[in-house]
Every structure is written in C-alpha cells, then in structure tokens.
Structure 1
Amino acid sequence: MRGSLRYIIALLIAGFSFITYWCKREENEITGETQHIDMTVDQEIALGLQAAPEMAAQYGGLHSDQQATAKVKEIGQRLVEQTKAGTSPYKFDFHLLADEKTLNAFALPGGQIFITAGLLSKLQTEGQLAGVLGHEIGHVIARHSAEQLAKAKLTQGLSSAAGIATYDPDRPASATGAVAAAAIAKLMTLKYGRDDELESDNWAVRFTAQAGYDPRAMIGVMEILGAGREGGGGVEFFQTHPNPENRIARLQTAIEQEFPEGVPSGLIK
C-alpha cells in the first residue's frame, strides 16, 4: 500500500510538471518561434539586473580599464542599434570583467552581457569582438535563459517524481535512483544549452553583418578558443558550449546560407 501511494504521488508530480511546462507557451516577437516560457520580459530584466553584481564578483569585478570598457560598450551598442535587437524590449548593457586569465563571455536574461579581459585580450580584431557580443545578444533576444529556467523546472519536477517512485525507506540503496534521475536531468539541460549556442551563432552571423562587421570573424573566435583549450588555459567557454570544430562547420554553413552570393566586401574584419 505504501509503495502504491508513492507511485501515485510521483505520477501527480510528473503530470503537474508536464502540464505546467506545456501550457506556458508564447511566441517570441523577434525570432517568431513559439517557446515554453515561465516569466515575463520585465521579470527577465529584473532577474538579470539582480544577478549582475554577483556574477561580476565571481570574475574579480569590473575591469578598471575605462578605454577598453568603452570599446566593448561601443561595439555592443552598435550591434543593438543596427539590428533587430534594437526593437526588443530588453535593456542591453555591456561589461568588461577584470578576470585576465579566464576566457569566457555570457549573457544574463534581460540584456546584461559580459566578456572577460582574458578573452578580450585574445581577440585580434573588432569583428571578432562584435561576433562574441553578437552571439550573446542572440541569447537574450532568443530568450534562452527563460527557456532554460522553464526546462529546469520541468526536469526538476520529473527528477523529484522519479526519486519518490524509486525510493524505498526499507532499502536505502534505492536512493541512488534519485541521484541517477538528477544526473539525467542535468544532461538534458546541457543538451538544450548546446542547441542554444548553435542558434546564437546564427544570430551572430546576421547581427555582425548588419552592423557592418565581417561575419567570418566569428570563425577566428572559434579558432582562438580552440587553441586556448589545447593549451590548457582557463577556457570556461567549453563547459557548456559545443566543441569549436563543430561550430566552425556550422558557422560556415550559416554564412553561406545568409550570403549565397558571397560575403559583401568592405565589412570590418
């Protein structure tokens, strides 16, 4: 009887998680995609602003180089103003982090975008910096963070249901089922994250070209990151991103599709 009750509770939790996830759908006005989203745009902006100081602190705070910071902001705002990102409700702001060893860039929901001094120092051209920032802008306008939060709630609910269904207080070893379920949930989230990265690469191709930068510069970024990984440097980028070889091939395909007659001349490298 006790086991049957556990299964009933587990099914209720799993069912509630599925229904909550699938019922919360809305169309993204920028991308045109229908997404499972569990928060408003205003909530995304507020969450990003709230998390920004803590995230910056993890990388030693903001960099003191005002000239380099101004350059990051200048290129970031150019990308926003000259692309569809500028028509979005998000409040974009671009930050240079003090960490000079780690190679990373990331976006918080709502438009807070960061790049480490370590990654900036490796970039060789303005076009490469534009590619990195364009990629992160893509995450924001595609609402990837909001999607990930909705998916996390779903997988957390399913993991809880699996844990309740498999746990037997008379057999403590059965608790490993809950651990396995949590591991599967993490792998699911990671897979979605990698898909998001590839989608944001496509946005980077569009945004850089629309803002006057050569989209092929993004291939150079992947080569730089790949070299950093081989050298054993602090490349946090690859903890959640696909490997650079796969991304280079996808970038080349995206560029060919965007510019079937060739990339226009005169773009900033």
Structure 2
Amino acid sequence: MRAIIKFIIAILVAAVSLVTYWCSSETNEFTGEEQRVDMTVEQEIALGLQAAPQMAEQYGGLHPDQEAAQEIKAIGQRLVDITRVKDTPYQFDFHLLADEQTVNAFALPGGQIFITAGLLKRLESEGQLAGVLGHEIGHVVARHSAQQLAKAKLTQDLTGAAAIATYDPENPASRSGAAVAAMIGQLVNMSYGRDDELESDKLAVQITGAAGYDPRAMIEVMRILEEASGGSRGGPEFLQTHPNPGNRVARIESAIQEEYPEGLPEGLIQ
C-alpha cells in the first residue's frame, strides 16, 4: 500500500511540474522563437545585478586597469547602441575581471557581462573582442539563463518525483535509481547548453556585423579558445558543456553566409 501511495504522489508531482513547464511559453521578441521561461525580464535584471558582485569576487574582483575596462565598456556599448539590441529592455554593463589565468567570458541574466583578463590578453584585435562580447549579448537577448533555470527546475522536480517513487528506506540499493535519474537530467541540461552556445554564435554574427565589426573575427576567437584548451577535450564532446571550438567554426561560417549571401561589406572593423 505504501508503494502505491508513493507512486501516486510521484505521478502527481511529475504531472504538475510538466504542466507548469509546458504552459510557461512565450515568444522571444528578439529571436522570434517560442521558449519556456518562468521569470519576467525585470526579475532577470534584478537577479543579474544581485549576483554580479559575487561572480566578480570569484575571479579576483574587477581589474584595476581602468583604460582596458573602459575600452571593453565602449565596444560593448557600441554593440548595443548601433543594433536592434538597443530596443530590448535589458540593462547592459560590461566588466573586466582581474583573473589573469582563467580564459573565460560569461553573461548573467539581465545584461551583466564579464570577460577575464586571461581571455582579453589572448585576443588580437578589436573585432575579436567584439565577437566575444556579442556572443555574451546573444545569451542575454535569447534569455538563455531564464530558459536554463526553468529547465533546471523541471529536472529537479522530475528527479524528486523519481526519488519518491523508487526510494525504499529499508533498501539502500534503491538510492541508485534516483542517482541515475539525476545523472540523466544533468546530461539533458548540458545538451541544452550546447544548443544555447551555438545560437549565441549565430546571434553574435548578426550583432557584430550590424555594429560594423567583421564577424569572421569570431573564427579566430575559436582558434584562440582551442589553443587555450591545449587540445584537451576532457572526454567526448557529448559530455562537455560547450561545443568543440573546431565544430563551432563551421556553424559560424554558415551563419555568416546566411546573413551575408552577397558577401560581407567593405570597411568592417577587424
């Protein structure tokens, strides 16, 4: 009888979670895509502003080089002001982190964008920096963080339902079923992450080109990222959060061809 009750509760939890997730659908005004999010733009902005100081602290705080920091802000703001990104409600701000060793850039919900000094010193041109910042802007306007949070909540709820249904306090071995469910959920979310990265690459092509930068600079950024990894993949690409930089090059080239079928205009900033 106890097993039946647990099974019914698990089914109810899973059903409510799925219905809530699938009903939280809206059209992204920037990408035109239907997506599932469970927070407002205002909540995204507030979350990003709240998390920004803590995220900066993890990378040694903000870099003291004010000239470099202002250059990043200027390039980032150009990407916003000269493109249709300016029509979005997000509050963009661009930050240089003090970490000289880590090669990374990331965006928080709502428009707080960071790049480490470790990545900046590897970049060779203004166009490459614009490509990195444009990619992170793409994450924001595509609401990838809000999507990931909604998916993570769904995964957590379904994993909890699986644990309710399979866990038997008198049989410790049943815990392995919940562990497997959690692992599957993690892999699913990782695959969503790769899709987000590829979409942001495509959006970066649009944003950088519209702002007067050569989107081909992003191909060189992929080379730099590949060199920074030392050729190590840390396992099959399927088990990585980000796509293989070499595989992203083909997608970027395809996006450039799609955006500029007649060829790139002259005078773009390299």
Query: What is the CA distance between 1:261 and its match in structure 2?
Result: 1.5
1:33 counterpart letter in structure 2:
E
Aligned residue in 2 for 1:19: 19
Output aligned runs, 1:7-46, within 5 Å. Answer: 7-46=7-46
Q: CA RMSD in A?
A: 1.1
Q: Which amino acid aligns with 1:114?
A: F
- Structure 2 equivalent of residue 246 of structure 1: 247
Asked if structure 1 preserves the Cα contact closer than 8 Å seen for 2:79 and 2:211, the reply is yes
TM-superposed deviation, 1:75: 0.2
1:131 aligns to 2:131 (yes or no): yes
1:261 aligns with 2:262: yes
Query: Aligned partners of 1:230, 1:59: CA distance in 2, in Å?
Result: 21
Paired residues for 1:144-163 under 5 Å: 144-163=144-163
TM-fit CA distance, 1:70:
0.3
Q: Which runs of 5+ in 1 are unaligned?
A: 233-237
Compute the displacement of 1:141 (Å). 0.4
Matched ranges for 1:137-216 at <5 A? 137-216=137-216
- 4+ residue runs over 6 A deviation: none
Shift of 1:239: 5.6
Q: Is 2:190–2:240's contact at 8 Å kept on the other side of the alignment?
A: no
Tell me whether 1:83 sits opposite 2:88 in the alignment. Answer: no
Cα deviation digits, residues 108-142 of structure 1 (max 9, x gap): 00000000000000000000000000000000000
Q: Which runs of 5+ in 2 are unaligned?
A: 233-238
**Inter-partner Cα distance in structure 2 for 1:30 and 1:255:** 19
Structure 1 stretch 164-173 or stretch 214-223: which is displaced more? Answer: 164-173
Give the letter for the 1:50 counterpart: Q
Q: Which amino acid is 1:38 matched to?
A: D
Deviation (angstroms), 1:16: 0.7
Partner Cα distance (1:56, 1:169) in 2 = 43
Paired residue type of 2:80: V
**1:36 Cα deviation after fit:** 0.5
The residue aligned with 2:103 is: 103
**TM-score, normalized by length of structure 1?**
0.96
Aligned residues: 264
Rounded to whole Å, the distance in 1 between the matches of 2:77 and 2:61 is: 21
Q: Secondary structure at the match of 1:122?
A: coil
Tell me the distance in 1 between the aligned counterparts of 2:231 and 2:206: 31
Match of 2:235 in 1: none
What percentage of aligned pairs have identical amino acids? 67
Match of residue 51 from structure 1: 51
Distance 2:131 2:89 in 1: 22
- Tell me how far apart the structure 2 counterparts of residues 243 and 29 of structure 1 sit (CA, whole Å): 29
Q: What per-residue deviation string (whole Å, max 9, x for no partner) do you get for residues 120-165 of structure 1?
A: 0000000000000000000000000001001111111110111111
Structure 1: which amino acid aligns with 2:256? I
| One-letter amino acid of the structure 2 residue matched with residue 252 of structure 1 | E
CA offsets 1:52-79 (integer angstroms, 9 cap, x no match): 0000000000000000000000000000
**2:120, 2:129 within 8 Å by CA — same for their partners in 1?**
yes
